């Protein structure tokens, strides 16, 4: 089901024609999706992000990821291996030299890192960074970094690898312009929950505390089915692993 179809049902549910023409529905719906994404785990909560990295790469940026579960590499022979997670402090203490002074190899460890600059340094780019600073550009995300997370890989890659990141990602952002074709997990599988969660945030935005509490209670009860499905899937995986 497209966002346009869900939006039409949302309009009927709320009667809020004033919200349909100025992207307010999209504001509330995207807030609802993020809340659903992080409140209830389901069979599509996790997904893969894959990217090729060049030799000497130490940083991988990931957009709209709110938690990383696993990181793997795939080499030129198609061999796949899990990369071990370590703390930011441990990886920096072990690989404390400049990147150019480190011995390249197969990425064996990673750590989540913060790569963004402060707002008053938004004007810095990869081109003018070295005019003010000597080191650090290789682990910096320039410009708009707010929707990005990143991992630091060590040692620096000695060849081209495909990095595979299994994590928890926010649903696709819904827009007014793309409403006729845009879909997300919630518009496709659970449109009712998206409508109810969007209405929940509309109630909150209107400072209707009683309506907010009533809808939250009803929505939480309704979502128990998704939670049970997740438990059943996890139980099935455990049974299969035990043989």
Question: What tens digit of pLDDT does each residue of 64-91 get?
Answer: 999 999 999 999 999 999 999 999 888 8
Q: Which residue has the higher pLDDT, 51 or 14?
A: 51
Q: Is 106 helix (H, G, I), strand (E, B) or coil?
A: coil
Task: Point out the domain boundary residue: 159, 183, 212.
Answer: 159
Across 40-44, 53-57, 154-158, 188-192, least confident range: 40-44
Does residue 69 form part of some domain?
A: yes
Same domain for 36 and 92: no
Task: Point out the domain boundary residue: 159, 182, 205.
Answer: 159
pLDDT tier at 98 (50, 70, 90 boundaries)?
confident
Task: Point out the domain boundary residue: 105, 132, 159.
Answer: 159
Same domain for 184 and 91: no
Does residue 205 form part of some domain?
A: yes
Same domain for 39 and 13: yes
For tokens 């290789």, the residue is: 138
Encode burial over 145-174: b for 16+ CB neighbours within 10 A, e otherwise.
beebbbbbbbbbbeeebebbbebbbbbbeb
Most confident of 75-89, 111-125, 203-217: 75-89
**Strand 148-154 relative to strand 65-74, pairing:** unpaired
Same domain for 33 and 62: no
Contacts 24+ apart (CB under 8 A), 5-9: 5/187, 5/191, 6/187, 6/191, 6/194, 6/195, 7/179, 9/191, 9/195
For tokens 């990181």, the residue is: 71
Does residue 102 form part of some domain?
A: yes
Same domain for 105 and 34: no
Does residue 20 form part of some domain?
A: yes
Q: Which residue has the higher pLDDT, 243 or 123?
A: 123
Q: Which domain holds residue 212?
A: 3-43+172-242
Residue 243: per-residue pLDDT: 42
Residue 242 pLDDT > 50: no
Same domain for 66 and 112: yes
Same domain for 73 and 117: yes
Same domain for 80 and 128: yes
Say if CB 2 and CB 181 are below 8 A apart. yes
Does residue 48 form part of some domain?
A: no
Q: Which two tokens stand for residue 112?
A: 């989540």
Residue 160 pLDDT > 70: yes
How many domains are there within the chain? Answer: 2
Same domain for 134 and 86: yes
Same domain for 33 and 73: no
Rounded distance between C-alpha atoms, residue 177 and residue 3, angstroms: 11
Same domain for 126 and 84: yes
Q: Which residue has the higher pLDDT, 5 or 216?
A: 5
Report percent pLDDT > 70 for the chain.
94
Does residue 167 form part of some domain?
A: no
Q: Give the strand order in the sheet containing 109-113.
A: 59-63, 148-154, 109-113, 84-85
Does residue 114 form part of some domain?
A: yes
Same domain for 209 and 186: yes
Does residue 81 form part of some domain?
A: yes
Residue 234: per-residue pLDDT: 61
Mean pLDDT, all residues of the chain: 88
């Amino acid at each position: 089901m497209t966002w346009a179809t869900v939006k039409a049902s949302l309009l009927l549910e709320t009667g809020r024609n004033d919200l349909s023409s100025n992207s307010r529905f999209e504001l509330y719906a995207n807030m609802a999706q993020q809340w659903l994404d992080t409140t209830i785990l389901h069979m599509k909560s996790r997904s893969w992000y894959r990217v090729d990295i060049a030799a000497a790469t130490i940083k991988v940026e990931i957009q709209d990821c709110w938690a990383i579960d696993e990181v793997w590499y795939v080499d030129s022979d198609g061999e796949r291996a899990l990369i071990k997670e370590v703390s930011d402090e441990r990886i920096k203490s072990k690989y404390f030299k400049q990147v150019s002074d480190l011995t390249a190899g197969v990425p064996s460890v990673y750590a989540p890192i913060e790569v963004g600059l402060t707002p008053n340094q938004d004007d810095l780019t990869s081109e003018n960074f070295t005019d003010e600073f000597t080191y650090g550009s290789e682990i910096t995300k320039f410009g708009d970094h707010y929707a990005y997370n990143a991992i630091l890989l060590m040692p620096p890659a000695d060849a081209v690898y495909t990095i595979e990141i299994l994590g928890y990602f926010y649903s696709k952002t819904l827009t007014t312009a793309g409403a006729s074709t845009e879909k997300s997990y919630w518009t496709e599988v659970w449109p009712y929950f998206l409508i109810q969660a969007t209405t929940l945030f509309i109630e909150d935005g209107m400072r209707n505390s009683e309506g907010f509490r009533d809808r939250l209670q009803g929505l939480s009860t309704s979502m128990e089915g998704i939670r049970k499905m997740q438990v059943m899937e996890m139980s099935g995986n455990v049974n299969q692993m035990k043989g």
